Structure 1
């Protein structure tokens, strides 16, 4: 009997009570890759919610003869989270904290729990889980167990294996076993009891007894030796600990049902010491001496990695580091009294190292967080080199004993040079573990051959240094084939027997560790697949005009799957649904598969892609928050343009997409329009317009700003010269008081305010709805109208952040090659940027007030809040910038039918509760029209634009002035 097809497998799983089951093309495409170079299309994806769902799914797969791959967050870099059978995703529903015992300092969890969620629960008792990989905000504990994850602080707190107490697992054949350390009496008792559990333990004990010498001499030689299976834990001196031996098995032995882990008490305070060196090799050679100090972490970064950083606040933190070409980030723990002495002693030791060039003790905690963020984002940042070329994992995390790190790194650098390859090196220098992404060329047969040759030689180099192919990310498909280079035949045979004892049917993650898949098979990018010929409207210059290359920017590190707000906007819809399809990664994966034409076969007409993009808010958060700059908002515009070309569009594309144009006749009869949208006919109007029934339609102002401005007499002396005030459609028609306030502020600061001739528009609403032909015509008219002022050096001031961002970033893309469009982008500033940078001697009015501020997501993506913060500080405002992400309304998104619940839920995560909790004398700052609308419709408060806050305090506005 042949292997069943996807439909048959999905149907059998659905009938088998396995939880949520998906076998559609879209879902299979989303789960076709992890964070590695590899790609396998699964037959189905299962989302278990309870223990019985897992047992039932295994039973169905066993009956059908279909392999099973366990998956957490899908951030594995070696290919062990993708498979050709059924994928069990534990992160969505099988993710609970089952117990936490502060006295015993243990926690019991389901495998899908995210590490940060466990850490939050433990922190309430003054505890934490020691291993902390850089993906801590989305990786699952089950995935950490699968790979034996380590993280930044493993030099102090060990690997996952060192912190696991007990596991409950189920084999492919359905045997449930509880694993932990066992005494000889407990082993004898289990064997005597018989049954599947007794036979399993007997076989494992016999394997250990028959290989004592090999276990003692070949395995567990240094902490980061995690390649292969951790069979050294079966030794009697390690208490025959089956739980620890299971850690690092990459889903090949059994499926985890629950895990009990050890928690630790962190030190009361920490300090970051940055040590600069002339190059990464010098930094590596300094490590052994530094390890004599009691370190919590010792991480290395090469300048090649920091050169990739573009985020303004992070870039500023880098630019003040000690001048060097490589750095070690050393973290110390202790009391506040001890730390200065410890830091000084550490720098004294570092100063003795050859190649040391400087140090800094970072006392500013906010700056320290920004610096650590570079290290956390390393896996994503390193995938694009400074010249824009792609870089890939493959030789991702090899490790050597720390005393050999310098020698290994010099040999590795020479190996790169011989193969004419490049890569940014970083990693856990304190434990001899290096991470690197390398610019392999998978688009040609020659490039793929170089990939195989390089990995083979790199394995030989690591073996010569007594190292491990993997230091924490596991072997997977990337390195399992190379294990015989590191281990002799006896060890390989022992690994094969260990796997067979657990999984004689080879039903769990076949091809990993033993009987491996070829390291150059199943490649995500392959010269043997020809992408669909998909021409684009937008140029995608950063990706050589190649839409497939743009979408494969997503390397799967999964930062977009972070559920908590940490100063990022990405990804608002995922934070609401917690569904892979609504993440930046899920959408990028689907778009990439669309370009390949294998699973998603209908190109731009794909309904699977359309549906996955439906909940994208076009917030642009991913364009800056994603370490690789995946820009789904732009991809969505491009896709919608082609998808609906020559077809009837959704009603909202004709109403809200054309809002700037429709607003003009409405502005001539605002009372009539407002009466209609507020009458009993409003539900019909909204239904016909594709507007959510729950949304209140904003009211048109009695007079537009342009009507008011063109009849007024200019004020002020204008000694600073002219500025062009960009009159956006939203403020012009709905909140002209914002533009009026800006005129007062600009004139008080000494500027002469002008407005564009006629009625101009940035085209934003047409861009977000994918009507790029219309958007381009509007953009060209706008650029032409503003060109004379821009050529004369006149700045263009934007009040609405989404429109300002469009002028800066979208118009140059729409009008690719247009010099005036590029000049306009460079001339466009926010109000705060103009006042802070171009009127530095102007003294803003004093405003002794407290405020909370919502940064518009497009401003977050393009200019940030730095100038606003500086201006508020100069005014004396005690401002709290909310880590709220997108407000949830996001232009047309929150008004469209079918989006209301997600829109409100996004706002309810941080923004709306914060506004409700604010005292009535706290100003709620929100420059975005969407943000103010969401606040007004979700609370009893009103948002205030920065221009309004300043204008109210100007001397001319004060009573009696």
Structure 2
């Protein structure tokens, strides 16, 4: 950064703090995190502020006006058109201004701060039988302020309206510094900005009446139709969708709607997507709440990556139609009538909550999953949510497919077909030299196509940097001038989110992917799905922000445990990915693998691998962190914990030779404290006790049964040295199931602790040696069973990425034979689980199992046993070496408090706490009075035996 720019940033931050805005971050790391949203665009801000009150917002805007610094408001940063990035000051409302201030059930309204997450508002409204109408697929993390900025709609806007239809009042500060209190239906308030806006409307009445508000999803540009005199000069509704270019929202009063007593989902199959679109007008007389369209290209991707896709009617294109009402019998009659009028190849009427949720998950997850189709070609937003009148939708889709073919591109369309709105991710070649020009060529052609169908460039996400330049294809020059006049009325100095809507930036300027350099050589991991390119790997993150879902653990998710604990963007998977993207770009974060910004962003990553499964685009931050640590410390002195915790299997073998002496030394007050400090371990952590007898010694002295099918039990470090009782229980269960148990050789290790600390050369040697043994001993097809989920996950996932090319086929074969205990037993002919009827089980699936193997087999086994199971989402917080390292203890405990500890406290005294992971059981023992059991112990009856 040059000196004048540095001085200007310093002056801005100094002035903000002097004005009372204390939470300001101008660090390179923070600017990297906020340099992009969920769009293709990279725009580095001067600083990021986190206002804690409306007074701070007003003060921040005053400073920005005085210093002529642009201002961009931001909620969750899920904007896919580049609406939430800017060159000046970014105001993040999601950290502090996230409250529901008032909720009036009688008036059916709620007053909210701009940073409140939609699902949080819905949770407050639900006990009163109410809901906020619009529901974008990002409902778990998008904020009301962002929804107001973009006029968000979502799947059920057909029944509940757009955000602008559900806003009663807004309080905002304009670019002029005027505080406006706007109410739906019009305003008598006197202000310079309002007077100038009235004048602009009077001078453009004909243009506004003929070119704006032609159909429901015409979101492009400003909704100037609401400013017409016959509509009462309704500035509140017109401001919705202005994308922060008029001013900054302070709070909003939104209207709430009654929750229906019953809903029914009708799935309809058609020959193709266009045929499904042709059928949409026939759906509308049946008063649906939602009519969603989905293409086989989306469904096939979801089927390939998810196991819970329900059966769909025959066809290659589908409509999902939701009906709602209070009379269940009448609702079913309407559903049958709709199906009869649909002209579909087949249909299903779905009423079960679980299957309905699974259907909607196809729709919600499909876009992210389709962003990385097979072959490694990334699919991008950019031409994301065009809309046409619904009666033109089928014809538009056929023309759109021809346009894709003409440009050699591929896309997977889906969307709100009842409203004529189409979403699509397209494999623009942005990582190639010609990518920018190819992108522009297609986007301009697509804009002309939409305009020819009487449509809108944007149907709900706003225009942002992606489509503002295209407004000239939709509106006349007079209409464009009217947009500019209204913008100038509220923001004459063009400081509010400049480059958007009025005087737009070129649509191919500031693209993020072309700015990065490839990183292929010398990487220890294959990154096979990304053509061996670390740059492609980190650019998997498209910014959709699922990792920012504050309560994802409530629905069984794991990602991202540190963000759930801190609510800081730097601790989200997305925030880390953005810093890594800036590292490979090399212009903002300039220190490469050793850059302090990179290590600060990665510090609180638990390497839980939750993102590998929960992130729709498959970001695997654990692998990225391991790679960064490997590259950064290659040939250099490492942190102490890398030598202590990273080499734990070696030290454990030494310590277990004299377990009593080792335990005494580890607990001697003075010596233990010194040892922890030297080892980089937090002083508040207790070191687990070594078992008095290792598992192998127990195994060797027992009398095994004769006969049985051979199975190889992988003996991990934790089972061997710390919890041999788990291994003993597993052996008894396996033998009872008719297996003859053999065990892996002494000294073998999966290499996990070396992987998590980035010592990947050592890890590769360990894994390769283990694969050699496993390959030889399972050549006859015998299965391998692992007890520690993180070790099993290495062989099921990381091993193939880590070993040399010559060993990858072997790694693949071993992965096919490596099972969890539940997977092996569930498929065992003649074996039945013990009777657990009436047993309450609070289960904490290990993060690595959740991410790599899944927990479905465990759930099925427990269900078959009759147990009453409560699955806990989130992470235990210890996560191997993470929670033991000095500086991580507080976050480790906070992570445990997001889901695990509250669930355990709420469990009945007789409930079983099931936790297969050694880390999970260790954390549980340290922070609660409850003891965790491994599945093997539960199946064995948890009876102490010798």
* SS across alignment from 1:84: coil
**Structure 2 residue aligned with 1:950:** 939
* SS across alignment from 1:791: coil
Instruction: Describe how 1:413-452 pairs up with structure 2 within 5 A.
Output: 413-452=401-440
Q: Deviations over 1:910-956 (max 9, x none)?
A: 211211222222111111111111111111111111111111289xx
From 174, 177, 182, the counterpart of 1:174: 177
From 651, 659, 664, the counterpart of 2:648: 659
**Structure 1 residue aligned with 2:851:** 861
* SS across alignment from 1:274: strand
Instruction: Describe how 1:869-888 pairs up with structure 2 within 5 A.
Output: 869-882=859-872, 884-888=873-877
Q: Does 1:226 align with 2:223?
A: no
Contact 1:115 1:140 in 2 (8 A): yes
Instruction: Describe how 1:51-130 pairs up with structure 2 within 5 A.
Output: 51-130=54-133
**Structure 1 residue aligned with 2:562:** 573
**Structure 2 residue aligned with 1:235:** 228
**Structure 2 residue aligned with 1:336:** 328
Q: Deviations over 1:381-432 (max 9, x none)?
A: 2311233311111111000111110111111111111111100111100100
Contact 1:532 1:597 in 2 (8 A): no
Q: Distance in 1 between matches of 2:776 and 2:517?
A: 47
Cα offset, 1:532, TM superposition: 6.3
Q: Distance in 2 between matches of 1:872 and 1:254?
A: 55
Q: Deviations over 1:550-574 (max 9, x none)?
A: 0000000000000112221000000
**Structure 1 residue aligned with 2:704:** 714
Cα offset, 1:442, TM superposition: 1.5
Cα offset, 1:309, TM superposition: 2.0
Cα offset, 1:452, TM superposition: 1.0
**Structure 2 residue aligned with 1:765:** 753
Q: Does 1:917 align with 2:906?
A: yes
Q: Distance in 2 between matches of 1:289 and 1:20?
A: 54
Q: Distance in 2 between matches of 1:792 and 1:51?
A: 70
* SS across alignment from 1:99: strand
From 328, 331, 348, the counterpart of 2:340: 348
Q: Does 1:697 align with 2:687?
A: yes
* Structural RMSD (CA): 1.8
From 536, 539, 544, the counterpart of 2:526: 539
Q: Does 1:557 align with 2:549?
A: no
**Structure 1 residue aligned with 2:811:** 821
Q: Distance in 2 between matches of 1:367 and 1:33?
A: 36
Q: Deviations over 1:876-934 (max 9, x none)?
A: 2222222x211111111111111111111111122112112222221111111111111
Q: Does 1:679 align with 2:682?
A: no
From 307, 310, 317, the counterpart of 2:309: 317
**Structure 1 residue aligned with 2:831:** 842
Contact 2:217 2:421 in 1 (8 A): yes
Q: Does 1:601 align with 2:590?
A: yes
Q: Distance in 2 between matches of 1:107 and 1:35?
A: 28
* SS across alignment from 1:424: coil
Q: Does 1:621 align with 2:614?
A: no
Cα offset, 1:716, TM superposition: 5.1
Structure 1 range deviating more: 211-220 or 34-43: 211-220
Q: Distance in 1 between matches of 2:829 and 2:481?
A: 73
Q: Does 1:934 align with 2:923?
A: yes
Q: TM-score, normalized by length of structure 2?
A: 0.97
Q: Does 1:261 align with 2:254?
A: yes
Contact 2:302 2:366 in 1 (8 A): no
Which ranges in structure 2 are unaligned for 5 or more consecutive residues?
none
Contact 2:301 2:366 in 1 (8 A): no
Which ranges in structure 1 are unaligned for 5 or more consecutive residues?
192-196
Contact 2:298 2:367 in 1 (8 A): no
Structure 1 range deviating more: 898-907 or 334-343: 334-343
Cα offset, 1:759, TM superposition: 2.2
Q: Does 1:639 align with 2:642?
A: no
Q: Distance in 2 between matches of 1:771 and 1:446?
A: 38
Q: Does 1:515 align with 2:503?
A: yes
Against the structure 1 CA distance between its residues 519 and 722, is the aligned structure 2 distance closer, same or farther, given a 3 Å change threshold? same
* SS across alignment from 1:732: helix
Q: Distance in 2 between matches of 1:688 and 1:115?
A: 47
Instruction: Describe how 1:15-30 pairs up with structure 2 within 5 A.
Output: 15-30=18-33
Cα offset, 1:19, TM superposition: 3.2
* SS across alignment from 1:904: helix
Q: Deviations over 1:295-326 (max 9, x none)?
A: 111111111112222676x43324x2223211
From 212, 219, 223, the counterpart of 2:205: 212
Q: Deviations over 1:501-526 (max 9, x none)?
A: 11110111111111111011111122
Q: Distance in 1 between matches of 2:194 and 2:235?
A: 9
Q: Distance in 1 between matches of 2:486 and 2:789?
A: 59
Q: Distance in 1 between matches of 2:833 and 2:105?
A: 53
Against the structure 1 CA distance between its residues 445 and 785, is the aligned structure 2 distance closer, same or farther, given a 3 Å change threshold? closer
Contact 1:615 1:899 in 2 (8 A): yes
Contact 1:534 1:595 in 2 (8 A): no
Against the structure 1 CA distance between its residues 235 and 706, is the aligned structure 2 distance closer, same or farther, given a 3 Å change threshold? same
Against the structure 1 CA distance between its residues 315 and 277, is the aligned structure 2 distance closer, same or farther, given a 3 Å change threshold? farther
**Structure 2 residue aligned with 1:194:** none
Against the structure 1 CA distance between its residues 7 and 531, is the aligned structure 2 distance closer, same or farther, given a 3 Å change threshold? farther
Contact 2:153 2:163 in 1 (8 A): yes
Q: Distance in 2 between matches of 1:298 and 1:27?
A: 40
Structure 1 range deviating more: 437-446 or 221-230: 437-446
* SS across alignment from 1:93: coil
Q: Distance in 2 between matches of 1:136 and 1:597?
A: 34
Structure 1 range deviating more: 231-240 or 72-81: 231-240
From 31, 48, 52, the counterpart of 1:49: 52
Q: Distance in 2 between matches of 1:116 and 1:889?
A: 28
Q: Distance in 2 between matches of 1:532 and 1:58?
A: 41
Q: Distance in 2 between matches of 1:169 and 1:434?
A: 31
Cα offset, 1:863, TM superposition: 1.6
Against the structure 1 CA distance between its residues 167 and 98, is the aligned structure 2 distance closer, same or farther, given a 3 Å change threshold? same
Q: Distance in 2 between matches of 1:621 and 1:105?
A: 38
* SS across alignment from 1:316: coil
Q: Distance in 2 between matches of 1:287 and 1:881?
A: 40
Q: Distance in 2 between matches of 1:286 and 1:560?
A: 37
Contact 2:241 2:462 in 1 (8 A): yes
From 280, 286, 290, the counterpart of 2:273: 280
Q: Distance in 1 between matches of 2:834 and 2:124?
A: 45
**Structure 2 residue aligned with 1:466:** 454
From 726, 729, 740, the counterpart of 1:752: 740
